[in-house]
């Protein structure tokens, strides 16, 4: 197994601040305070850290955009809604090292000169909510929130629990949810860095993203970039499930091969695989001919795939992938917020057509219909949910057309 960075305290440290500090914790925050906000943003940009929530936006640039907004009130939001099927790495990360996540957030608040941190945690994640909140309280009691905010003020931490809607992981819907409205995505622009939560400049980051930050502060950008590829720095967490002997969260440097990961998890359990769903429900099916794909943002993109949030679901030979697609279709139809026509009606129609195909019915007409519908949803939907609700389906249609699908 390769070097564990993010998961190094997994199973080793009880979540108490004293132990965390003894094992090197809070050193990153101390360094940040020495450097000042602007230099922290610059360092994070230099490290090449990209957002791990799916969109892979450069984290340092996002922070610096918020830091330099003329509007004085800024916020930091932790996106811990993690509701995509097959994605559970944030939960594992909070379980194994909640202080690392909190330290990353405090650094984010300092670097962006934010007055408040909102922890938005998936409703079903009760133990993780407890862990994060206990850590926040211990950090506050220890005086570690002092002087991090604008003009040396203290930063405040607030907790919000999700109400069981996948769409509330989408950043603008998440803001609406925190504000007390229905979780409906808003248009971008304006981007959250300009007008986010309560219309104030806001950094929203994934759990895994912020967990990378403390080490960047203590060990530097060069150390960080020494792991990974030229365009994807550091290590990445993968949630593997499906037909594997050891479903779990694995940490690998960017640049590893999908086949390495599959081997680690004991994919297929002795049997060959039919395909892998890479990147979660909004990802693509990857077939054995592409199992040598390099797991990096650029490597995945070169094969028309995406890493998404790092979800990998394996399907053993003989699995009916149309049935898998039908299940994904049902997920999107169920989770669409219902705001825009292409997604509200489109995901329902997509599910209905997939239901036919999964049952062995449906022919060329249904396939053509899926394709034109996919184009409508991808082009005209308001947010990423509708825009990617047909990505996996399209990859399946393509594979089928190329004869890559068994039976």
Partner 1 sequence: MAGDFKISVDGREVTAHEGETILQVLRREEVETPTLCYHDNLTPAKACRACVVELKGSRALVASCERKAEAGMEIQTESERVVNARRGVFELLLSQNDTETAPNLVAQAQRIGADPEHYSGLRYERPLYDDNPLFVRDYEKCILCYRCVEACGVDAQNTFALTVSGRGFEAGIAAGWGETMPDSACVFCGNCVAVCPTGAIMDRREHQMRVQGRYDESQMQVTQTTCSYCGVGCQLELHVDQRTNEIVKVTSPETHPVTFGFLCVKGRYGYSFTEAGRE
* Interface pick for partner 1 out of 165, 211, 261, 358 (rule CB under 8 A): 165
Instruction: Show the DSSP H helices in 243-296 as ranges.
Output: 258-264
63 within 8 A of 108, measured Cβ to Cβ: yes
Name the nearest CA neighbour of 261 among 271, 269, 251, 270: 251
* Interface pick for partner 1 out of 128, 233, 381, 395 (rule CB under 8 A): 381
51 within 8 A of 205, measured Cβ to Cβ: yes
* Interface pick for partner 1 out of 335, 357, 391, 394 (rule CB under 8 A): 335
* Interface pick for partner 1 out of 349, 366, 398, 400 (rule CB under 8 A): 349
The position carrying tokens 């610096």 is 64
Judged by CB under 6 A, does residue 340 bind ligand SF4? yes
Structure tokens at 78: 């932790």
- Minimum distance of partner 1 from residue 114's CB (angstroms): 27
Judged by CB under 6 A, does residue 386 bind ligand SF4? yes
Judged by CB under 8 A, does residue 379 bind partner 1? yes
Question: Footprint of ligand FMN on this chain (CB under 6 A)?
Answer: 51-55, 57, 79, 81-83, 166-167, 169-171, 204-206, 209, 383-385
- Minimum distance of ligand FMN from residue 388's CB (angstroms): 7
* Interface pick for ligand SF4 out of 106, 178, 343, 373 (rule CB under 6 A): 343
> Which residues, 6+ apart, have CB-to-CB distance to 232 below 8 Å?
48, 50, 254, 255, 296, 297, 298, 299
CB atoms within 10 A of CB 36: 12
* Interface pick for partner 1 out of 344, 367, 398, 400 (rule CB under 8 A): 344
159-188 residues in contact with ligand SF4 (CB under 6 A) are 167, 185
Judged by CB under 8 A, does residue 51 bind partner 1? no
Name the nearest CA neighbour of 255 among 229, 276, 216, 225: 229
- Candidate segments 5-13, 61-69, 91-99, 334-342, binder of ligand SF4 by CB under 6 A: 334-342
- Return the exposure string of 339-374: e unless at least 16 CB atoms fall within 10 Å of the residue's CB, then b: bbebbebbbbbbbebbbebbeeebeeeebeebeebb
CA separation for the pair 340, 383 (Å, rounded): 9
Strand order in the sheet with 311-316: 248-253, 235-242, 311-316, 273-278, 284-286
Nearer to ligand FMN, 28 or 169 (CB): 169
> Which residues contact partner 1 (rule: CB under 8 A)?
165, 167, 182, 187, 333-342, 344-349, 352, 369, 372-373, 375-376, 378-382, 387
> Which residues contact ligand SF4 (rule: CB under 6 A)?
167, 185, 336-340, 343-344, 381-383, 385-386
């Amino acid at each position: 197994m390769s070097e564990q960075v993010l998961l190094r305290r997994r199973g080793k440290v009880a979540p108490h601040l004293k132990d965390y500090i003894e094992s090197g914790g809070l050193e990153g925050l101390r360094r940040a305070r020495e450097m000042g906000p602007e230099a922290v943003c610059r360092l994070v940009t230099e490290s090449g850290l990209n957002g791990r929530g799916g969109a892979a936006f450069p984290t340092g640039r996002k922070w610096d955009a918020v830091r330099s907004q003329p509007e004085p009130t800024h916020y930091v939001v932790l996106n811990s809604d993690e509701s995509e099927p097959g994605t559970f790495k944030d939960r594992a990360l909070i379980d194994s090292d909640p202080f690392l996540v909190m330290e990353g957030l405090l650094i984010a608040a300092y670097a962006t000169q934010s007055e408040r941190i909102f922890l938005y945690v998936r409703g079903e994640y009760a133990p993780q909510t407890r862990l994060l909140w206990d850590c926040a309280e211990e950090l506050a009691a220890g005086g570690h929130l002092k002087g991090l905010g604008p003009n040396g003020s203290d930063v405040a931490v607030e907790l919000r629990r999700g109400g069981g809607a996948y769409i509330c992981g989408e950043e603008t819907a998440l803001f609406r949810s925190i504000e007390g409205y229905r979780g409906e995505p808003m248009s971008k622009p304006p981007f959250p860095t300009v007008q986010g939560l309560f219309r104030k400049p806001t950094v929203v980051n994934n759990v895994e993203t912020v967990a990378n930050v403390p080490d960047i502060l203590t060990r530097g950008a060069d150390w960080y970039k020494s792991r990974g590829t030229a365009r994807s720095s550091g290590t990445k967490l993968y949630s593997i499930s499906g037909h594997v002997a050891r479903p779990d969260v694995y940490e690998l440097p960017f640049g590893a091969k999908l086949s390495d990961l599959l081997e680690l998890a004991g994919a297929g359990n002795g049997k060959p695989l039919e395909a892998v769903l890479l990147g979660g429900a909004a990802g693509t099916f990857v077939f054995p001919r592409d199992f040598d794909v390099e797991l990096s943002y650029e490597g995945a993109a070169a094969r028309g795939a995406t890493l998404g949030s790092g979800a990998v679901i394996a399907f053993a030979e003989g699995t009916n992938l149309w049935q898998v697609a039908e299940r994904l279709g049902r997920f999107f139809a169920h989770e669409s917020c219902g705001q825009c026509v292409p997604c509200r009606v489109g995901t329902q129609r997509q599910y209905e057509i997939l239901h036919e195909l999964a049952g062995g019915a449906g022919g060329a007409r249904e396939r053509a219909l899926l394709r034109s519908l996919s184009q409508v949803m991808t082009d005209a939907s308001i947010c990423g949910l509708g825009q990617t609700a047909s990505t996996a389906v399209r990859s399946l249609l393509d594979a089928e057309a190329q004869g890559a699908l068994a039976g």
